[in-house]
Structures are given as structure tokens and as C-alpha cells.
Structure 1
Amino acid sequence: MRRPAKGQGSAEGRGGPAAPHVPVLLGPVLEALDLTRAGLSVDGTFGAGGYTRALLAAQLQERVVAIDRDPNAITGGQGLVAEAGGRLRLVPGRFGDLDAILRDLGEVGADRVVLDIGVSSMQLDQADRGFSFRQDGPLDMRMERAGESAADLVNGAEEADLADILFHYGEERRARAVARAIIERRRRGPIETTADLADLVAGVVRADPASGIHPATRTFQGLRIAVNDELGELVRALHAAERALRPGGRLAVVTFHSLEDRIVKQFFSARSGRAVQASRHVPSVERPVPKSFEPVIKGPILPSEAEMAANPRARSAKLRAGERTDAPVPEPLAAIEMLASLPASATRGGPRR
């Protein structure tokens, strides 16, 4: 397995069609989860059911609780619920609440938790969801189809707030220029579709022919993360899994970009006894006591060349995993929560790029 080359990203990022949904790093995920004993598994990001189906197919009477915040995924998964013969419960909700969801179902703990972070290929394929600029559609991006949409944010936020979101969540170096262009465009009327926004950004951000990544990719990423509070939800899910797992239980997390991976890496580092640093501007946090996870693998597992060729979505994927110890649940990690938030300097009116 090798690290993806710089500039490689998802099919969406390169402007091509999204690949059919295939569970990424499926073999390594199942190995990391240790299916040598029966128990209860939680698939916190059901999607099209790839991981759930593999867990149910294991050579033991595995029970699965699957969670998804997207109502389309819940509807689409009912056939698998019927096939599972009572071994699968598919629940609408957020994976950040997975421990509370288990309690509501009468479960006292879990033996495995798997999280596949980010937007699914099904969401990208549906123009009316507004996640993608491959097809024109309403500027929506809401996973739960409720609450503030990307259009609400783009047309209502202050220029400084937009710049912060695009720079910190989208990692867009020209965030301030894009935000300024959005404000100028809003004076002529609202920005309502994905094509409207993508065309506007393409007029500000220079295309990089070497990578093939569309100029609007980072802007769309930043808005999507903000609309769905994706990084905050990831932090809550890691802590929820820590509370829910029994001693010896496994947590496996697949991420698709650096912001997600940084949070997961720092979480496992801190919980396995190493110092964690939210950023170069924040001092390292002292080693937490007690140690609640032991590492299952050293560093991230990356997709093979064959998997990346067969499934372009896998190109930027990383898998990290840990095993729950019998230590009491520590306090939530403030440094990890900081990684999911816009820097305090931004809200105080500090410099923005």
C-alpha cells in the first residue's frame, strides 16, 4: 500500500463522474474490527450498506446496529433489514449519538464500531442534493435534508465568516478572494445552484491542470463541512464510540481528507498515552490518564494500487483503528474539539487570507 500522490482526490474533485458505491478498504476494515468472536457491531455511517452487509456475512451470528442521518439511506436500506432476519436494526440519527442510540435500543455496549466519514457517492450522484457541481442542482448539501442549506449560508453569511469557512474547512488558499466574489455576486441576486457557485469560484481560483481538481472543489468541501458540522460530529462520534465499546472492542475509522484524518490521528494518539497538539499554535496537551485505547495498527492503512484503480473514491482514504481497554472513560479531549472548530482568532476578527 502506498500514499496517494499529491493532488489526487476523489472523482468528484477531478470533475469526473462519481464511481458506483463500493465500501473503501473493506478487507482491512474487517480485519481491524476482529471478527473472531460474535457480538454487536455498530456501523455509524450506513450509506449503501457496504460495511453492514459484510459484517452480517461474517462466519458468526453477528448483530448490527446501523445508523445514518440521511433519510434516503434509511429508506434504501429496508431491503437489507428484511434480508437480515432480525440481525440488523437500521436507525435514523447521527453517529455522534451512537452511545445514546444503543441505550435507547436496550443495548449495554458494543464490540465493534466502524465509521466511514464524509459524503457518499449516492449523495454526489443525486443532483437535487446539491453536493456536487458535476450536475447542476439546488445549492443544498444537507445530509438530513433539514436545517440551514449551503444556499442559506452562501447568501446570508458575512464575508469574513465565509472566508473563515472556506479557508479552515475547505483549505482554500484564496478563501478571502472567493468570499469577496460571493458578496459581489450576491448584490445582483442570490446564488441558488451548484453551477452558479462553481462558475463563480472558477473565475477566481486558477485551475491546476496537473492535479485535474476543479477550482471549486475546496469551496464545496468547506461549505459542506460547515452545513453538516461534519468535523464536530466526528469528534462527538469518537467520544461516543469510546463510551459505548466494551473492553476489547474495536473502533475503525476511514477518512477521506486531511482535516478528518488529523482529528482521528490525534484522538487515538491521546487516548493511547501520547501527547496531542491541536495545532502549531497550541501547546501539546499532557498525556491523558487513564489510557482508553491501544493501537491496532501502526499508522494509517492506505488503499492498494489495485483498489485505487478499481475505485477512484479510495484514492485519498486512510484507515486508523484502536482497541478499547478496560480503563474508565476519560474526559472529552478539548484539543480534539478545537481541531473541529474555526480558530478563535477568526471570530475575534484576526487576520484572514
Structure 2
Amino acid sequence: MANAAEMEMQHRTVLLEEAVDALLWRDDGIYVDCTLGRCGHSRRILERLGDRGKLIALDKDPQAIEEAKKIIDPRFSIAHESFARLRDVLAGYGVTRVAGVLLDLGVSSPQLDDPTRGFSFRFNGPLDMRMDPTRGESAAEWLARATVQEITEVIKCYGEERFAFQIAKALLARRMDSDRLGPLVTTGELASIVAGVVKTRERGKSPVTRTFQALRIHVNQELVDLQIVLDAAADLLEKKGKLVVISFHSLEDRIVKRVMRTLTSVEAIDRRIPMRAHQFAPPPYKLVGKVKPCAKEIAENSRARSAIMRIVERVAL
């Protein structure tokens, strides 16, 4: 029997069946799981693929890559890369068109529940927050050099936090006292500083949630990379190919919704086509739908509550 720590580290894949049902439309196609995580979607895709089908999976997180290595399947390929490099990854495999692309955005339960990763204020751990701890700048390193204006903009834009300026000033004041206290390097101290500034918050909401979200998004360039991968994924789809995206907060979903609306509008038609033809040519993509978790899934997994899945299909090349 798994102990409590092991159970907490388990990850429940949100909208598992719904996402795979939306993604797979032929079992001999090439599919891409851009957010491998703990392989929930990937394992189910492989179960549904035929012998001629292929699945290429990407993830920044080295732990996700190690988990994926447990899957021994000749149809399965793994790339330790950001999904912003989707084009380059597929080019490396000699792939120019795919039958479907899946993105399951946000942070996985194992990442949140591991104190050493620094994603959660529920545990005291190193203030890291990187999806890939082997690359780039940690949250602590960025806070040690950022200006008040930069910190304010990140917390305001990515956390939608109305006390962003006050938090930034408190963080700078803490940094000015680093000779006495040492550098700010733990999630516990960051949470304490933010909680000391944010005196009011919606009932049942932690005063530090928005700041932690903002720093994580900034450190990992999540929204910038999301825009890049959405554009690339849509362009790489073959005719009838599906782009399936699961988002967990409004900032992500806003980008997904905007991109899909643009893809499925008349403006998405190639302007090199004579104007007269535009009157008859449909947009090259169509919206398939939007899906939210059912009450049963939300009851079993509270992290599914905010999930929204959007699907678009390519109808013309």
C-alpha cells in the first residue's frame, strides 16, 4: 500500500478520456503530446493507437522525461524540450504534418506537491519554480536582481494582483536587508512577505496564490511559449487534424480562445487568394467545441474544477 507521501505525489490526469476522444480520429496517425507530465494522456493515446500510429511527447521537466522512459513502445518517442520548440522537434523526426496535437497546460500535481520544486506555498522549500531545474533562472535569482517596476509588472500582469506594487516594494525592502538576513531563497519566506502585504482576499483564497502563479509563469515564460506553440501546432496539422488544449486559468484560456477564434475566422484565409474566392472559401479551421469536467471528476479531483478544454480542427490545407 502506498504511504501518504506517495499518494500525495500521484497525479490524476484531468479530462483524460475526453481529451483522447477529441484528439484521435485515426489510429494510424502521428500525434504529439506537448505536455507529457506523468504520461496519463500519452499512455491512453498509445492504448488507442494502431500498429502504424506514432506518438511524440515533449516536456521541459526532467522528472517527466524519466517517467516516460518507463514506457517501452516502438511507437513512442520522447523529447526533453519546451513545447515552444515543437517545429524543431518534429523536424528532427522528419515530420511535417501531424494528425493531432494535445496541450495540457499548467503545473502537475507531483510538481506542486514536491517541496523541492518551489511551486507551492503549502510547503517550505527552495524558491525555484522552474519547470526545468537544469536550465534558466530560478524565481529566487530573478527576484534578487529585478527592479520594483519589473516585479510589479509581472505580479500585476501574470497574477492579476491589485497589490502588486506594494508586494514589489516589500520584496525590494527585504532584499535591501539581505546583508543581515541573507538572500530570499525559500517559498516560506516569500509567502510570509506577501501575506504581510495582502490583507484582503476572496473568502477561501490564500493571499499569496496570485503572486506564486505570476512568478511561476514569468520564470517559465509560459504565456510566451503558449502563443508560439499554438501557432506552430495549428500550422502543422494535416487536413482533419485536431488541436486539443486544456487550460486551468483565465490567462491561458484567454490566449487559447483568441488564437482559435482567429484561426476559425474569415481573416484566417490566405490573402494571396483572389478576393472573389474569399466569398466562397470557408476558414481553414473550425471550432469543434468546449468541454469542462463533469461533477463526478471535480468531486474526485479538486484541481479539475477550473479546467476548460477547447478543440479546433483543420478542414483545409
Same fold? TM cut 0.5: yes
Shift of 1:36: 4.1
Which residue number in structure 2 is paired with residue 13 of structure 1?
none
Unaligned stretches of 5+ in structure 2?
1-6, 271-282
Shift of 1:209: 6.3
Contact 1:47 1:120 (C-alpha < 8 Å) held by counterparts: yes
Secondary structure at the residue paired with 1:48?
coil
Shift of 1:20: 3.0
Secondary structure at the residue paired with 1:320?
strand
Tell me how far apart the structure 1 counterparts of residues 191 and 284 of structure 2 sit (CA, whole Å): 44
Structure 1 runs, 4 residues or longer, greater than 6 Å off: none
Which residue number in structure 1 is paired with residue 305 of structure 2?
315
Larger relative contact order (C-alpha < 8 A, sep ≥ 6)? 1
1:60-104 deviation digits (Å, cap 9, x = unpaired): 333210000111111121111x1x2x0100111111221221110
2:208 is aligned with 1:216:
yes
Judging by fraction of residues, say which structure has more helix.
2
Which residue number in structure 2 is paired with residue 144 of structure 1?
132
Unaligned stretches of 5+ in structure 1?
1-16, 275-286, 328-353
Tell me how far apart the structure 2 counterparts of residues 139 and 235 of structure 1 sit (CA, whole Å): 26
RMSD: 1.6
Q: Please show how residues 25-174 of structure 1 align to structure 2 within 5 Å.
A: 25-58=15-48, 60-61=50-51, 62-80=53-71, 82=72, 84=73, 86-145=74-133, 146-174=135-163
Contact 1:249 1:323 (C-alpha < 8 Å) held by counterparts: yes
**One-letter amino acid of the counterpart of residue 261, structure 1:** D
Larger radius of gyration: 2
Q: Paired residue for 2:227, among 227, 235, 253?
A: 235
Contact 1:35 1:58 (C-alpha < 8 Å) held by counterparts: no
Q: How many residue pairs are counted as aligned between the two chains?
A: 293
Which residue number in structure 1 is paired with residue 316 of structure 2?
326
Secondary structure at the residue paired with 1:173?
coil
Tell me how far apart the structure 1 counterparts of residues 220 and 35 of structure 2 sit (CA, whole Å): 14
**One-letter amino acid of the counterpart of residue 42, structure 2:** T
Shift of 1:230: 0.2
Shift of 1:324: 1.3
Contact 2:39 2:67 (C-alpha < 8 Å) held by counterparts: no
Tell me how far apart the structure 2 counterparts of residues 259 and 118 of structure 1 sit (CA, whole Å): 11
Shift of 1:207: 4.9
Tell me how far apart the structure 2 counterparts of residues 50 and 292 of structure 1 sit (CA, whole Å): 31
1:308-336 deviation digits (Å, cap 9, x = unpaired): 11111111100001011323xxxxxxxxx
Counting aligned pairs with the same residue, the percent is 41
**One-letter amino acid of the counterpart of residue 111, structure 2:** Q
Shift of 1:136: 0.7
Secondary structure at the residue paired with 2:144?
helix
Which residue number in structure 2 is paired with residue 266 of structure 1?
258
Shift of 1:224: 0.6
Tell me how far apart the structure 2 counterparts of residues 18 and 156 of structure 1 sit (CA, whole Å): 34
Secondary structure at the residue paired with 1:151?
helix
**One-letter amino acid of the counterpart of residue 82, structure 2:** R
Which residue number in structure 1 is paired with residue 197 of structure 2?
204
Tell me how far apart the structure 2 counterparts of residues 209 and 18 of structure 1 sit (CA, whole Å): 26
Shift of 1:35: 3.4
Tell me how far apart the structure 2 counterparts of residues 292 and 238 of structure 1 sit (CA, whole Å): 15
2:191 is aligned with 1:191:
no
